[in-house]
Amino acid sequence: MSDFLKYKGYLGSVEYSADDNCLFGKVMFIKSLLMYEGETLQELEEMFHETIDEYLADCEAEGIKPNVPCSGVLNLRLGHSRYLAVAEQANKLGVSINELICSAIDTRLNLCPPNGL
C-alpha cells in the first residue's frame, strides 16, 4: 500500500502481515521508532492517532522536543557539472540556487503552477 496515515503533521505507514493476519505500521521520517497495529483499517488509524498523542504527551512530560518529520533541510550531492549548470541557471534568472531547486521540485510534484523560473 502506498498511502500514508496523516495526523498532527506526522505520517504513518500501512502494512499487512500475512503471518500474524494483522495490519501494522510505523511513524515515518522521524528518528524515534513508533509502531502501532490493528485488525481493521479503522483500528489501525485509531492506534496511529493514539501513538502520536502518547508520544507528544511523553515528550511534554519529559520536557524534550518531539521529533518532527522532515526538518526541511535536504543535502544534495549533485556532482560538479550538474551543480555548475544549476548555479549558472539560477544566476541567469536572478534567483538563489535554493529557489531554483524548490521551484523545479514544486513544478515536478504539481505543488504549484510554474512561476516562470
Query: Residue holding cell 518531539?
Result: 66
Per-residue pLDDT of the chain (117 residues; tens, 9 = 90+): 458 999 999 999 999 999 999 999 999 999 999 999 999 999 999 999 999 999 999 999 999 999 999 888 888 899 999 999 999 999 999 999 999 999 999 999 988 765 556
Q: Which helix (H) or strand (E) holds 82?
A: helix 80-93
Task: Give me the pLDDT at residue 71, please.
Answer: 80
Task: Give me the pLDDT at residue 1, please.
Answer: 42
Tell me how far apart the alpha carbons of residues 97 and 82 are, in angstroms, rounded to a whole number: 12
Q: Which helix (H) or strand (E) holds 9?
A: none
Tell me how far apart the alpha carbons of residues 10 and 85 are, in angstroms, rounded to a whole number: 35
